[in-house]
Structures are given as structure tokens and as C-alpha cells.
Amino acid sequence: MQPHAHTAGEQKSTASGARSRAVADRVAAFLHDRDVLCPACRYNLRNLATAACPECGRILSLHVNLDTPRFGALLATVVPMLAYTGVMGLAAGGLALAILHDPRTVMEVPGHIWLLLLLVPVDTLLAGLIYRQRLGFLALHRGARAAIALASWAGHLALTLWTLFVIP
């Protein structure tokens, strides 16, 4: 019997098949004596011998995830933004009602109030951006996340104090 020389395509499919078997073996080893449900159909995969769910046929793979994601700094960063947006949104609603009642009210509103109201969409967009980029935010070092959260609180606290005590 002569040894068979594999073509590049055959070598690739052989390597791919070996990888698939290795993945199936790792999945089977992980599921041995464990009650794990299929993420697609919720079928119990205990003692599964292949890398596919026997119920729905979906291919399974193993992934490493965070055990408990740390969202504290993310929430601490976004909460003051959303709180400011909510409070100023209520103020804007009250101002809008006053203007509807008496249009001359527009002339009586101090300029700094308009500035504070303009910050509402900026804060809303910034909070949305941080939320949208949350995985990048969570990937930051713990100290950087804490510094961003502290800056968010400090900035909004300073803005509130300025509005309440310096302006009137």
C-alpha cells in the first residue's frame, strides 16, 4: 500500500475535521455528569457525546465569560446623567407649560436656565454613548472606571450647587 499525498484542500479539511472532533470532545467532557440546558431549546445536554444538541440540532461551543459582571461603576457613571436629565426634563416641561400659558414668560427666563436646559440632550446622548460602549467601559481598569464615575458625580453635583446657590 502506497502512502497517500493529500492535496492542500484535503489537508485543510482533515485539519478542520480534527479541530471539530477536538471541540466535540471538549464539549462532551464538559457536559459529562452536568445538567446544562441547550441555550436554544432548553434540552438537558447531560452526557452529550457530540457538539450538537440532539433536540434542535444547533452546534454547541464552549466560551469563557465573566462569572459576575461588574456594573457598579457603569451605573454610578450613568445615574447622575439620567437623574439630571429627568429633573431638568421636568423643569423644561414646567417651563413649556408656563410659556404656553403666557408667551411673555420666555423673556423672563434667565439665560443660565436655557444653558442648563441645553445640557439635557448632551447628558442624554453621553449616557447613551457610555451604555452603548459599555463593554469597552467595563474593560477599563477598575481605577479608571471609578475615576469616570467620580467625575460624573462631581460634575453633576457642581452643576446642581451652582444652579441652586450661585445663580439666584
pLDDT at residue number 68: 65
* pTM confidence score: 0.52
Neighbours of 76 (CB within 10 A): 16
Helix (H) and strand (E) counts for the chain?
Answer: 6, 0
The pLDDT tens digits of the residues spanning 125-150 come to: 999 999 899 888 888 888 999 999 99
What's the pLDDT band for 10 if we cut at 50, 70, 90? very low
- For residue 160, give the nearest of 92, 112, 106 by alpha carbon: 112
What's the pLDDT band for 69 if we cut at 50, 70, 90? low
